[in-house]
C-alpha cells in the first residue's frame, strides 16, 4: 500500500512512529488474533440487513406487514447506527474497544437467534434492533482498533476490513434464499442460520479481552497519546497549525457537505439492501436470482474498496469520482424503471459501482483535516449526522410502494436523491480542510 494513502487514512500516524516503537506491543500471536477478529467482525456487519432484504416478501407475509411497516423495518439500520454509534466512544473509554466489539458480536448473535422466532412485528423489530445495536458499536470501533494495533498498516488493514465487510454483505444476499430452500423453505431458519457466523466471530474477541499484553499496550497508548499528539515548540508551522483549536464542527461547510454526502450515500445503500430484491421479484425475477442480483451489487465493494481510496488519495479534488459514481447510479435507476428484468444484471452492476461511495466518503473524511483529533471530530459528526439523514429514505420508499401500487415513484425518489448526493460530494471533495474554515 503506497505511503501517501496511509498518511491520508491516518493523518496523525507519522508523529507517532517513534513513540509507538517505545511502547509495549502485543505478542505476535495476539496481532494475528486481532487481524482474525477484525475480519470476522467485518464479515458480520451486514448479513443481518441483506439476508432480510432477500426474504423481505416472505417476512412481510409471515408477519402480516404492510408496505409502510416494511419501510420502517428497512429504516431501522440507519436509526440504530445513528443512536448507538454515538455511544461507542464512551463505552470504549470505559471498557476498552475490544470488550465493546466482543459485546457487539454477542448482541448480533443474540438478535439473529431471537429475531426469526418472534411471532409479531414489534418483537421482530426489537430483535432486529438488538442485532443492529451490536453492528453499530462494532462499526464505529473497527477503525479505532485498526489504527491502534496496525499504526503502520492502516491503509492495508482498512482495505482488508472493507473487503471483508463487502464479502459478508454479498454472501448473505446470495446464499440466504438457497439456504432457506435447503432448510425446508422456512424463512425463519433462513434468517436464523446467520447467527452461526456471528457466534464464530465472538471467539477471537473473548481471547483478546483476556490477553494481558493487549491491556498493557493499550494503557501505555492512552497514557502517551496526548504527549505524542501535541507538537513541541520546535515543530513545523504546519504541525502547529493542524493542532490549533478550531471552531465548532457545525460551523464548517465542509463538515456539513461531508455529512450530507455520507447520509445520502447511506440512504441509497440501505434502500438498495432493503428493497432491490423486491423490485426484481415484482418484475418477474425469481427469489434466488433476485438474491444473486443483490449479491452482485454488494460484491462490487470488494475490489473497489481498494481502488477508490487509492485513486482518491492521489487527487486534490475528489469531485470527478463523485460524479462518475453518481452517473452510474442514475443510469442504474433509469434501467430499473424502464426494463427491470431485461437488463437486471447490468443495473445491479451499475448500482454496485454507485454504492461504492461509502469508501470514498471515509477517504474524504481522512483528507479533510490536518490532525488526528480533527479527523475523529469530523468522522463522528459526518457519520452520526449522515445516518440521521438516511433514516427517512427507506421508509419513504415503502410508503410510496404501498400507496402507488408499483415501483415508478419509489425509483424516481431514488434517482432524485442522487442529484443532491452528487452536489454534496462535489462540495465535500474540494481541496480544503476544516482547519481552513476556522
Range scoring the smallest mean pLDDT among 89-98, 170-179, 329-338: 89-98
Q: Which of 97, 82, 92 is nearest to 386 (CA)?
A: 82
Could you tell me the sign of the dihedral formed by the alpha carbons of 397, 401, 403, 409, in that order? positive
- Intra-chain end-to-end CA distance of the chain, in Å: 33
* pTM as predicted: 0.72
How confident is the model over 54-60, as a mean pLDDT? 87
Reference 196, options 216, 222, 226, 175; nearest CA is 175
Most confident of 35-44, 45-54, 73-82, 156-165: 35-44
* CB atoms inside a 10 Å sphere around CB 323: 15
Residue 25: the pLDDT is: 56
pLDDT of residue 6: 36
Provide mean pLDDT across the span 299-311: 82
**pLDDT greater at residue 249 or residue 420:** 420
Cell 476556522 locates to 438
Distance CA 125, CA 130 (A): 9
Q: Please say if the pLDDT value at position 219 is more than 70.
A: no
Q: Where are the beta strands (DSSP E) in 306-409?
A: none
**Distance between CA 233 and CA 302 in Å, rounded?**
44
- Tell me, what's the pLDDT at 69? 79
Note whether 296 and 345 are within 8 A (CB).
yes
pLDDT number for residue 247: 63
Lookup result for grid cell 506491543? 25
pLDDT in tens, 164-211: 888 898 888 889 999 999 999 899 999 999 999 999 999 999 988 875
> What is the tens place of the pLDDT at every residue in 346-404?
999 999 999 889 888 888 887 888 776 677 678 778 888 898 898 888 889 988 988 88
Calpha distance 119→133 (Å, rounded): 21
Say if residues 340 and 407 touch (Cβ distance below 8 Å). yes
Confidence at residue 376, expressed as pLDDT on a 0 to 100 scale: 66
Q: What is the pLDDT of residue 372?
A: 62
- Alpha-carbon distance 319 to 422, whole Å? 8
| Burial (CB count within 10 angstroms: exposed 0-12, middle 13-18, buried 19+), residue 247 | exposed
Q: What is the mean pLDDT of residues 232-254?
A: 58
Share of the chain above pLDDT 70, in %: 84
Selected residue with higher pLDDT from 210 and 409:
409
In sequence order, the 6+-apart residues with CB closer than 8 A to the CB of 368 are 254, 255, 258, 378, 428, 432, 433, 434
> Is residue 2 pLDDT above 70, yes or no?
no
Q: How far is CA 187 from the centre of its chain?
A: 26
Identify the pLDDT of residue 426. 96
- Give residue 57's pLDDT: 85
What is the predicted pLDDT for the residue at 162? 79
Does residue 110 register a pLDDT over 50?
Answer: yes
CA 204, 209, 215, 219 torsion-angle sign:
positive
- 150: closest CA among 307, 37, 230, 310? 37
Residue 17 is predicted with a pLDDT of 42
CB 437 within 8 A of CB 253: yes
C-alpha cell at 226: 496526548
| Neighbour tally for 106: CB within 10 Å | 18
How much is the mean pLDDT over the chain? 81
Q: How many angstroms separate the CA atoms of 396 and 400, rounded?
A: 6
* Low-confidence winner among 172-176, 220-224, 274-278 (lowest mean pLDDT): 220-224
Least confident of 147-151, 300-304, 320-324: 147-151
Residues of the chain above pLDDT 90, percent: 37
Average pLDDT value for residue range 420-437: 92
d(CA 352, CA 325): 9
Least confident interval from 3-12, 16-25, 50-59, 319-328: 3-12
197, 195, 206, 100: which is closest to 144 by C-alpha?
Answer: 100
* Among 408, 396, 274, residue whose Cα is nearest residue 337: 408
pLDDT recorded at residue 254: 92
- The pLDDT-based confidence of 311 (bands split at 50, 70, 90) is confident
Closest C-alpha to 95, from 127, 135, 128, 137 = 137
Sign of the C-alpha dihedral computed for residues 229, 232, 238 and 244 taken in this order = positive
Q: Is residue 18 very low, low, confident or very high in pLDDT (cuts 50, 70, 90)?
A: very low
Average pLDDT of 15-44? 71
The C-alpha atoms of residue 189 and residue 217 are separated, in whole angstroms, by: 42
Residue 72 vs residues 41, 192, 253: alpha-carbon distances, Å: 26, 21, 31
Amino acid at each position: 500500500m503506497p505511503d501517501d494513502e496511509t498518511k491520508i487514512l491516518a493523518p496523525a500516524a507519522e508523529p507517532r512512529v517513534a513513540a509507538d516503537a517505545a511502547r509495549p506491543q502485543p505478542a505476535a500471536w495476539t496481532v494475528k488474533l486481532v487481524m482474525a477478529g477484525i475480519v470476522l467482525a467485518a464479515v458480520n456487519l451486514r448479513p443481518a440487513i441483506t439476508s432480510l432484504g432477500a426474504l423481505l416478501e416472505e417476512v412481510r407475509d409471515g408477519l402480516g406487514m404492510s408496505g409502510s411497516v416494511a419501510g420502517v423495518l428497512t429504516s431501522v439500520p440507519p436509526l440504530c447506527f445513528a443512536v448507538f454509534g454515538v455511544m461507542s466512544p464512551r463505552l470504549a473509554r470505559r471498557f476498552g474497544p475490544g470488550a465493546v466489539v466482543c459485546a457487539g458480536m454477542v448482541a448480533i448473535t443474540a438478535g439473529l437467534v431471537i429475531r426469526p422466532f418472534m411471532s409479531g412485528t414489534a418483537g421482530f423489530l426489537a430483535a432486529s434492533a438488538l442485532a443492529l445495536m451490536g453492528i453499530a458499536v462494532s462499526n464505529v470501533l473497527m477503525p479505532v482498533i485498526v489504527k491502534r494495533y496496525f499504526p503502520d498498516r492502516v491503509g492495508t488493514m482498512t482495505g482488508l476490513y472493507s473487503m471483508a465487510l463487502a464479502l459478508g454483505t454479498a454472501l448473505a444476499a446470495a446464499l440466504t434464499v438457497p439456504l432457506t430452500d435447503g432448510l425446508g423453505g422456512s424463512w425463519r431458519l433462513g434468517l436464523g442460520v446467520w447467527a452461526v457466523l456471528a457466534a464464530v466471530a465472538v471467539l477471537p474477541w473473548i481471547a483478546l479481552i483476556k490477553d494481558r499484553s493487549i491491556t498493557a499496550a493499550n494503557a501505555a497508548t492512552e497514557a502517551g497519546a496526548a504527549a505524542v499528539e501535541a507538537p513541541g515548540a520546535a515543530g513545523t508551522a504546519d504541525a502547529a497549525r493542524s493542532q490549533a483549536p478550531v471552531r465548532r464542527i457545525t460551523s464548517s461547510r465542509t463538515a456539513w457537505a461531508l455529512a450530507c454526502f455520507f447520509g445520502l450515500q447511506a440512504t441509497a445503500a440501505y434502500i438498495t439492501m432493503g428493497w432491490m430484491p423486491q423490485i426484481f421479484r415484482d418484475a418477474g425475477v425469481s427469489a434466488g436470482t433476485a438474491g444473486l442480483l443483490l449479491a452482485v451489487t454488494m460484491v462490487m465493494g470488494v475490489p473497489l474498496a481498494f481502488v477508490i481510496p487509492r485513486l482518491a488519495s492521489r487527487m486534490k479534488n475528489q469531485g470527478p469520482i463523485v460524479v462518475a459514481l453518481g452517473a452510474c447510479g442514475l443510469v442504474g435507476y433509469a434501467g430499473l424503471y424502464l426494463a427491470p428484468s431485461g437488463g437486471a444484471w447490468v443495473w445491479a452492476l451499475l448500482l454496485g459501482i454507485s454504492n461504492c461511495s461509502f469508501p470514498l466518503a471515509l477517504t474524504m473524511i481522512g483528507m479533510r483535516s490536518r490532525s488526528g483529533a480533527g479527523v475523529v471530530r469530523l468522522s463522528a459528526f459526518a457519520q452520526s449526522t449522515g445516518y440521521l439523514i438516511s433514516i427517512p429514505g427507506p421508509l419513504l420508499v415503502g410508503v410510496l410502494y404501498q400507496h402507488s401500487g408499483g415501483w415508478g415513484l419509489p425509483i424516481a425518489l431514488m434517482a432524485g436523491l442522487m442529484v443532491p448526493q452528487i452536489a454534496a460530494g462535489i462540495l465535500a471533495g474540494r481541496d480544503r480542510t476544516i482547519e481552513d474554515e476556522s
